[in-house]
Chain A
Amino acid sequence: MTSLRVAVDIGGTFTDLQILDEATGVAHAHKVPTTPTDPSEGLITGIREACERLGVGPETVRAILHGTTIATNAVLQRRLPDGALITTAGFTDVLEIGRHVRKHVYANRAEPRALLVPRSRRFGVVERVRADGSVETALDEASVRAAAERVKASGATAVAIAFLHAYANPAHELRAAEIVQQVLPDAFVSCSHQVSPEIREFERTSTTVLNALLMPVVKTYLSKLRARLADAGLAAPVYLVQSNGGVTTPEIAGEQPARLLLSGPSGGARAAEVLAAELAEPNLIAVDMGGTSYDVSIVHDGAIRLVTQGDVDGLPVRLPMIEIRTIGAGGGSIAKVDGTGRLLVGPDSAGAVPGPVCYRRGGEEPTVTDANVALGRIDPGYFLGGAMDLDVDGAKRALAERVAAPLGLEPGPAAEGVVAVATAHMAAAIRLSLFEKGLDPKDFALISFGGAGGLHACDTAAEIGTGRVVFPRDPGTLSAWGMLFGDVVHDLARSRLLKADASAVPVLETALAELRAEAEDLLARDGIDPADRAFPVTLDLRYPGQAYEIGVTLAGVDGLAPDALNAAVAAFHDAHERQYAHAERHIVPEIVTVRMAATGRLTRPGERPFDAAAGGAAKGTRRIRIAGGERDAAVWERAAIGTDVTVDGPAIVEEPHSTLLVPPGWRLVAHPTGALIATCEGL
């Protein structure tokens, strides 16, 4: 009997699906419009349509992998309940003070700082744990009860509890949570040691507050989703995609919703990792260019990189997540000339509404998309497969008036300039992403997806100094396809500041045993067969006093192998040398955090069939402006490009949701798996 796994990626405009037949390993793409008021509606429509297309019933769906921006959007749009925060007395303002460093150096007005729990709903209680976990002042339960009563009086429904050094000893937080639940049985309560058991009070508190406020949001959404699925005859379990690229159950997601923040781009990053193996390109720079933002992630030696912290709206989220650098550069980025005669492109964006001038939705400021239209690189009659008729004259007029005239340039060079400045920003973001890891762009290929990326990928690659660009298949549903490769992952951690030598072994062994027990328990609850469980361990190490740590693998799944710690320390010195050009091998590093990624392996999709001998030809030519002049570019339909074809630039390749530009000097061929590969000699 057929058994399907469905991955759903809900974006602003479209809900993208990938449907995996678990028996054959074949995955199918499907796309439906997003239903913004209740995203689960579009999700169910999509699954129903896909089942109909495959001629099977909803009962064949065995699992649903759900990527969602519900948590992120709730934070960005402040659709959050009133929350309260209970902290160690004397430290209630830590959340408001933050790290108190500003971004704008010469500002005479401070930049706005997000504050999710006001001072009047932050309460201190008498207790104190020391850095080593010992108790300096016992928890004064009466003060907790008093605080809980004040929370109740304030009307707050979500409560974050974050005590100093709770990562080292959670007893006080646990007891305080019990008391708060007694006083407020219906409140959503989050403890910092459960959400983000890591040192640094502001970052941990911020993450815990976000988590508490998101609990009702995510729980409500998930219970609605469950009811809708049941109505639709879909009994399959749902897994939510997390920021770390793995998936988790609705039960865990409801308790730990902060783990869904920043999960949006993780599917695409995961897809890049899979493609790295498929294409035998172990080093990939994955770039996703949409209307307003540009996401960069790095696959190095075949693996995507995880980091331990990110942020949403300037608020730190201290949780493991796929490393993604986002800048404000997209098709909708606005080009303008400032008072000093500088051409600025982004980060302001026209978004989808009003959008670029050429969309005819009232946009008046020229954007990167308008520049591409003016340059002839986008076919005004074939945008979104011809669904939108673009206003070429409007785009040209806006560029002439607002960019060319103030700069004293001709319209053509001005439009090219807008694209060049946008490309420079994107290239700088990529370089910084590689650079901070000590990596060289020359060792990487660029993989481009997202609606707006294809026109800029080759130029961006040239700018950073690599002559190899990959255009994956189904770029519009790539993120959903990547989700199919997510395993069930629970990130567990213990912060223990220890010297990384033999003296640390007993403490580490205890921590590992605790983590392992917790991991087994969680995976058992997920119904993961013991044979499919894995428990990779990493240690965050640093030289004493350093601000940031490097994660290295600690071998030894069952207990600590005798030389494992020494091997991890050696790996740390090597990584430090590679990343920072110096290592101090005579210094014993510190362990800051020990992490376990409790993993339940799910079956993976197989290869996607590709009609390698498409045997097509160019569908025509178009006059475009490129490299300072007008040129005739061959125009191809992507489906016509098989392995038997070579496309030399300048050329344009069109597919329904994106357009690819092959600049002069570049050559494009199809890989046997269906990806297109563009190369440029001499870069």
Chain B
Amino acid sequence: MDALNPIPLGPIQVEIIRNAFVAAAEEMSVTVWRTSRSAVVREILDYSCCIFDAKGRSTAQSAAMPVHLNSMPACLEEILASHIPLEEWHEGDIVITNDPYAGGQHLPDIQTFKPVFLDGRLIAIAGILVHHLDVGGGAAGSYDASATEIYQEGFRIPPLKLAEGGRRNEAVIKLLLRNSREPVNVGGDFASQLAALDTGVANLQRLGRRYGADTLAAAAERIQAQSEAAMRATIAQIPDGTYAFEDFVDDDGIERDRPLRIHVALTVKGEEVLIDLSGSAEQAVGPVNCTLNMTRSAVVCGVMMALGSEVPANAGCYRPVTVTAPEGLVVNARSPAPVANRMATGHRIVTTVLGAFAQAMPGKVPAAYYGVSYAYALNCFLEDGRRQVYFDLECGGWGAHPEEDGASGFSCGFHNIANAPVEMLENTLPLTFVEYGLVPDSGGRGRTRGGLGLARAFRLDAREGRFAANLERFKFAPYGLAGGEAGRPGRLTVTRAGTGTSEELPSKVGGLKVARGDVLRLQTAGGGGYGDPAERAPAAVERDRAEGYTSAG
């Protein structure tokens, strides 16, 4: 259809349309943020929004969570290729899935896509991924650390049409909510997610009328091509060759003595990179497995961090990057392997990819960040029989950059989360927090120092609770580079009210019984150091002591 004001597609118009796509994603994001219900979304910001072109290729994103941003394009690709081909998408449809073995990552992440039609023609697709508080399964928050099959991890939605021609299938939502421990919160978040999709659709239709469908499509091509060209130009500057690096996941929580090796062979050839993960461990019994899409998402995150933090992220960024990961490995698990804590391995893929790039580009890549989403959940049993779930995520210290110290207690790498205010949590949950602070000496020493990890401790004030945690980096510390020392690993303790004794817990905990007055304390890892600690400027050493970032000793 003719646009109101058709304009030829030059560099100016491409830039203007790019801004409009990004604004459309941001406007969806604002809607989710303002209207959602649960702490996961409202305070922790665990959701993302994406605009795809008419062929389903990502074109613009609202900046938030790398793990999601790279997940949605892969998921949509798989839906289109194997489940619901593009010609079956009609106006008013909504496609939904949370199935890790159909393009998803783990069950709490529910992805929704809505096609945008203008005068009967598909012009774009709006996508939103929200991490929902609880979708059932063996433990609160759907983070069952003892799961050995995906069937234990919660309610599974294969790619299907939640709405057809504008008519919503409420039965799907009813089924989902009946399977959730938190139907009110999840129902509210889900309503937000769907409302935000509609704002995205309306906005993209407006852009279609403004610029015309053909111009919009051509602009999307150009936007992706620009990012691809920028990535290729950066890669071309790296010396050709193969660079290897490995790092380890502590264990899968079931076979506690079996560290899981992540091995990256990075081959740089001209303008392209090949990331070969064939040297990684066999898939795990416990839920730390990654599906191939999850692994791709982690690889892209590592590549973007190493090379392209300034390049607008879209489908074009992924094109010069090839990932090899044979099925049956922890980086490409075979169904029905459990995947709830896929972030344990995902973060490790990111740190391993970064480590490989550090070999290829010495002096440009920082030491390892804490490298784990400290996900934990406490199911609180109240006196009146009700249950309330406290779910939280934490972060730790950044790896030291060759030119500056790592940031302390700040989201890095594969995830990006805000903390939940203690006062908000105490107002709604039977908890009392006893500590939230930085951990001195946790940053790896070096010419530049790693950032400090965090300590977060809380007491249960209800009759009883069940605690689950999917943590990492208790055994294998965030590595230092160029002579810098590793950051201090994390730890988890429970102090029993009855006896006053403290007990060290492993990084993966399933269904730990907690009684009134018991205190759980999580300590997150600091980042690795960079360069020889002996070369650290004396003034910086002195300041660290004065500020208590390092102890006096």
Q: How far is the CA of A469 from the CA of B540 in the complex (A)?
A: 56
When distances are taken between beta carbons in the complex, the residues of chain B under 8 Å from A119 are 438, 547-549
B519 CB to nearest A CB, Å: 11
A228 at the interface (CB under 8 A from B): no
| Chain A binder among B224-232, B290-298, B340-348, B479-487 | B224-232
B416 at the interface (CB under 8 A from A): yes
| A573-606 contact mask (Cβ, 8 Å, vs B): 1 or 0 | 0001001111010010000000000000000000
A288 CB to nearest B CB, Å: 21
Pair B227/A108 contact, Cβ less than 8 Å: no
When distances are taken between beta carbons in the complex, the residues of chain B under 8 Å from A547 are 33-34, 36, 41-43
In the complex, 5 of the A-B residue pairs with CB atoms within 8 angstroms, ordered by the A residue number, are A105-B64, A340-B229, A420-B16, A544-B428, A545-B37
Is the interface on chain B under 10, 10 to 19, 20 to 34, or 35 or more residues? 35 or more
Q: How far is the CA of A343 from the CA of B311 in the complex (A)?
A: 14
Within 8 A of A (CB), among B12-41: 12, 14-16, 18-20, 23, 26-27, 30-31, 33-39, 41
Given contacts A106-B305, A199-B423, A341-B11, contact A546 B42 (CB under 8 A): yes
- Name B438's contact: one of A97, A109, A110 (CB within 8 Å): A97
B278 at the interface (CB under 8 A from A): no
Pair B547/A545 contact, Cβ less than 8 Å: no
| A186-223 contact mask (Cβ, 8 Å, vs B): 1 or 0 | 00000000000001111100000000000000000000
- Name A580's contact: one of B34, B419, B422 (CB within 8 Å): B34
Within 8 A of B (CB), among A422-475: 424-425, 428, 431-432, 435-436, 465
Pair A102/B426 contact, Cβ less than 8 Å: no
Q: How far is the CA of A34 from the CA of B419 in the complex (A)?
A: 43
Given contacts A91-B422, A546-B37, contact A108 B366 (CB under 8 A): yes
Pair B64/A93 contact, Cβ less than 8 Å: no
- Name A106's contact: one of B30, B66, B226 (CB within 8 Å): B66
B20 CB to nearest A CB, Å: 7
| A99-129 contact mask (Cβ, 8 Å, vs B): 1 or 0 | 1111111111110010000111000000010
When distances are taken between beta carbons in the complex, the residues of chain A under 8 Å from B306 are 108
B120 at the interface (CB under 8 A from A): no
Q: How far is the CA of A465 from the CA of B207 in the complex (A)?
A: 11
A612 at the interface (CB under 8 A from B): no
Besides A110-B412, A424-B15, 17 other A-B contacts (C-beta < 8 A) = A90-B435, A100-B411, A100-B418, A106-B309, A108-B305, A110-B406, A119-B549, A164-B423, A343-B11, A409-B10, A409-B11, A421-B19, A424-B20, A545-B37, A545-B39, A545-B42, A581-B31
B9 CB to nearest A CB, Å: 12
When distances are taken between beta carbons in the complex, the residues of chain A under 8 Å from B233 are 339
A591 CB to nearest B CB, Å: 12
When distances are taken between beta carbons in the complex, the residues of chain A under 8 Å from B409 are 93, 96-97, 100
When distances are taken between beta carbons in the complex, the residues of chain B under 8 Å from A416 are 12
Q: How far is the CA of A130 from the CA of B429 in the complex (A)?
A: 12
Given contacts A341-B11, A417-B12, contact A199 B66 (CB under 8 A): no
A51 at the interface (CB under 8 A from B): no
Q: Which of B11, B65, B410 is most buried by chain A, counting CB atoms within 10 A of its CB?
A: B11
Pair B43/A201 contact, Cβ less than 8 Å: no
B546 at the interface (CB under 8 A from A): yes
Q: How far is the CA of A96 from the CA of B549 in the complex (A)?
A: 12
When distances are taken between beta carbons in the complex, the residues of chain A under 8 Å from B401 are 108-109
Given contacts A165-B426, A341-B226, A409-B11, contact A432 B26 (CB under 8 A): yes
Q: How far is the CA of A561 from the CA of B305 in the complex (A)?
A: 58
When distances are taken between beta carbons in the complex, the residues of chain A under 8 Å from B191 are 582, 584
Q: How far is the CA of A120 from the CA of B41 in the complex (A)?
A: 34
Pair B12/A131 contact, Cβ less than 8 Å: no
Pair A120/B546 contact, Cβ less than 8 Å: yes
Given contacts A432-B23, A545-B39, A581-B195, contact A201 B412 (CB under 8 A): no
Nearest A residue to B28, CB-CB: A435
| A328-369 contact mask (Cβ, 8 Å, vs B): 1 or 0 | 000000000001111110000000000000000000000000
A610 at the interface (CB under 8 A from B): no
Q: Which residues of B contact A (CB under 8 A)?
A: 10-12, 14-16, 18-20, 23, 26-27, 30-31, 33-39, 41-43, 45, 63-66, 69, 184-185, 188, 191-192, 195, 198-199, 206, 226-227, 229-230, 233, 301, 304-306, 308-309, 311, 313, 354, 365-366, 395, 398, 401, 403-404, 406-412, 416-419, 421-424, 426-428, 432-438, 451, 454, 457, 546-549
Pair A100/B10 contact, Cβ less than 8 Å: no
Q: How far is the CA of A109 from the CA of B233 in the complex (A)?
A: 21
Pair B426/A101 contact, Cβ less than 8 Å: no
B40 CB to nearest A CB, Å: 10
Q: How far is the CA of A103 from the CA of B432 in the complex (A)?
A: 30
When distances are taken between beta carbons in the complex, the residues of chain B under 8 Å from A239 are none
When distances are taken between beta carbons in the complex, the residues of chain A under 8 Å from B42 are 545-548
Q: How far is the CA of A546 from the CA of B427 in the complex (A)?
A: 13
8 closest A-B pairs by beta carbon, nearest first, are: A547-B42, A110-B407, A417-B12, A93-B437, A101-B418, A90-B435, A106-B304, A106-B309
Pair A200/B35 contact, Cβ less than 8 Å: no
A94 at the interface (CB under 8 A from B): yes
- Name A340's contact: one of B20, B63, B311 (CB within 8 Å): B311
Given contacts A90-B437, A97-B438, A97-B454, contact A436 B188 (CB under 8 A): no
When distances are taken between beta carbons in the complex, the residues of chain A under 8 Å from B416 are 101-102, 105
Q: How far is the CA of A69 from the CA of B225 in the complex (A)?
A: 45
- Name B198's contact: one of A92, A97, A200, A581 (CB within 8 Å): A581
Pair A545/B195 contact, Cβ less than 8 Å: no
When distances are taken between beta carbons in the complex, the residues of chain A under 8 Å from B226 are 340-342
Given contacts A90-B436, A110-B398, A420-B12, contact A435 B423 (CB under 8 A): no
Nearest A residue to B396, CB-CB: A100
- Name B45's contact: one of A101, A465, A582 (CB within 8 Å): A101
When distances are taken between beta carbons in the complex, the residues of chain B under 8 Å from A231 are none
- Name A417's contact: one of B11, B69, B432 (CB within 8 Å): B11
Pair B69/A105 contact, Cβ less than 8 Å: yes
When distances are taken between beta carbons in the complex, the residues of chain A under 8 Å from B311 are 340
A411 CB to nearest B CB, Å: 13
A136 at the interface (CB under 8 A from B): yes
Nearest B residue to A94, CB-CB: B436
Q: How far is the CA of A424 from the CA of B426 in the complex (A)?
A: 44
Pair A545/B198 contact, Cβ less than 8 Å: no
When distances are taken between beta carbons in the complex, the residues of chain A under 8 Å from B39 are 545
Nearest A residue to B34, CB-CB: A548
Pair B69/A131 contact, Cβ less than 8 Å: no
- Name B199's contact: one of A101, A164, A342, A435 (CB within 8 Å): A435
When distances are taken between beta carbons in the complex, the residues of chain A under 8 Å from B398 are 110
When distances are taken between beta carbons in the complex, the residues of chain B under 8 Å from A544 are 37, 184, 428
- Name A104's contact: one of B41, B227, B309, B436 (CB within 8 Å): B309
B528 CB to nearest A CB, Å: 13
Pair A199/B427 contact, Cβ less than 8 Å: yes
A407 at the interface (CB under 8 A from B): yes
When distances are taken between beta carbons in the complex, the residues of chain B under 8 Å from A576 are 35
B66 CB to nearest A CB, Å: 6
Given contacts A136-B432, A582-B191, contact A101 B411 (CB under 8 A): yes
Pair B34/A436 contact, Cβ less than 8 Å: yes
A543 at the interface (CB under 8 A from B): yes
Q: How far is the CA of A131 from the CA of B403 in the complex (A)?
A: 43
A656 at the interface (CB under 8 A from B): no
Q: How far is the CA of A581 from the CA of B301 in the complex (A)?
A: 34
Pair B421/A580 contact, Cβ less than 8 Å: no
Q: How far is the CA of A130 from the CA of B433 in the complex (A)?
A: 10
Q: How far is the CA of A94 from the CA of B184 in the complex (A)?
A: 31
Nearest B residue to A406, CB-CB: B11
| A542-582 contact mask (Cβ, 8 Å, vs B): 1 or 0 | 01111110000000000000000000000000001001111
When distances are taken between beta carbons in the complex, the residues of chain A under 8 Å from B30 are 432, 435-436
Q: How far is the CA of A128 from the CA of B309 in the complex (A)?
A: 43
- Name B27's contact: one of A104, A421, A435 (CB within 8 Å): A435
When distances are taken between beta carbons in the complex, the residues of chain B under 8 Å from A436 are 27, 30-31, 34
Q: How far is the CA of A464 from the CA of B354 in the complex (A)?
A: 43
A413 at the interface (CB under 8 A from B): yes
